[in-house]
Amino acid sequence: SAGWVAAAVGRGRDVGVDVQVPAPVGDRLLRLCCLPGDADALAALPEDARRLGFARVFAVQEACVKALGEGLSGRPWTVPVPLDPRTGAWHRVHWSAPHGDPHDGR
């Protein structure tokens, strides 16, 4: 995670957190992890934007399955996450992004 650290605390609830560093992503992985239209949209972006978009989606996917106590065995790629994953829900998991994004300088 390139020096980034994340923590989550919840009283009376399950929590999950994940840190993803934008890295090269191939077409096969995009199609496995992203909603069909979103995979096409990411594939059409310049490399840096594609890396960042995929990292955001996969971080939410992994955090969701971690919140259920499943980790990668929970098949995070099956969690439907839109390209702008600021808020959302999947099964009994709800997510929201913190204010600011370390990748956009805020």
Give me the number of domains the chain comprises: 1
Residue 64 lies in a domain: yes
- What is the band of 105 on the pLDDT scale with cuts at 50, 70, 90? very low
Contact predicate 95/87, CB 8 Å: yes
Residues 64 and 33: their CA atoms lie apart, in Å, by: 13
What is the domain range of residue 70? 27-96
Q: How confident is the model at residue 2 (pLDDT cuts 50, 70, 90)?
A: low
Residue 101 lies in a domain: no
Best CA proximity match to 24, nearest among 41, 4, 48: 48
pLDDT tens sequence across 76-100: 988 898 887 788 899 888 888 765 5
Name 93's bridge partners. 90
In a domain, 9, yes or no: no
User: pLDDT category, 49, cuts 50, 70, 90?
Assistant: very high
Is residue 45 in a domain?
A: yes
- pTM for the full predicted model: 0.80
Angle at 43 between CA 82 and CA 29, to 5 degrees: 75
In a domain, 2, yes or no: no
